[in-house]
Amino acid sequence: MDLANEIKMIRQQAFLTQESFAEELSVSFSTVNRWESGKTQPSMRAMKKINEFCHSHKISFEELQTIWLDQTREVEL
């Protein structure tokens, strides 16, 4: 699975709209929209917020973390 779909799946598991998910993470709706469309990826700060969100909603964060770390490493190379 790719990063965009994994973020969308996390949001949908919590039964939230993009707007509600954005409010939970203290980011804009357009930020969530760009993540889910694959135009951008979350920053480390955003990933920490998503991790906290997943933990509090008992949603697995591991797959998203793995994908994000792999993509971050590719950029650094």
Encode pLDDT of 1-49 as tens digits: 799 999 999 999 999 999 999 999 999 999 999 999 999 999 999 999 9
What confidence category does residue 75 fall into, taking pLDDT thresholds of 50, 70 and 90? confident
pLDDT at residue 76 greater than cutoff 80 = no
- Inform me whether the pLDDT recorded for 77 exceeds 70: no
Helices (H), the chain: 3-13, 18-25, 29-37, 44-57, 62-76
Which domains are present in the chain?
3-76 (1.10.260.40)
pLDDT tens figures, 42-52: 999 999 999 99
Residue type, 28: S
